[in-house]
Amino acid sequence: MPKIAIYKAFTFFVYMYDVLYERPHLHIRKGYDTSIAKIWLDDFTFSETGRFTDKELNLVQKLVIKNQRKLIKSFEELQNNQRPKTYNLKLE
């Protein structure tokens, strides 16, 4: 479960099995909550929203849009059996 990025209490990660069989996406966990959201990196839609509020989902979506290239690069590194860098995401 490689960690791809962090932003405050949000952790963005990937399940290795998914890297082999699904298009680029990330799972997001908030703090120690076990509820997880899942966002596709190509169209920025959620396939799972967990217990995230609409405000939190909007924030996650903005972060992914702003940092899409880095996040896709990390996903592709995993597909190529490389260790990805963990990014500290920013909105600026």
The predicted model scores a pTM of 0.93
Q: Nearest-CA neighbor of 25 among 4, 10, 8, 54?
A: 4
pLDDT one-digit tens code per residue, 54-92? 999 999 999 999 999 999 999 999 999 999 889 999 987
CB 41 within 8 A of CB 68: yes
pLDDT in tens, 43-59: 999 999 999 999 999 99
C-beta contacts of 60-68 below 8 A and 24+ residues apart: 60/10, 60/28, 62/91, 63/5, 63/7, 63/10, 63/89, 63/91, 64/26, 64/39, 66/90, 66/91, 67/5, 68/41
Residues 6+ apart with CB under 8 A from 59: 10
Q: Where exactly are the structural domains of the chain?
A: 3-84
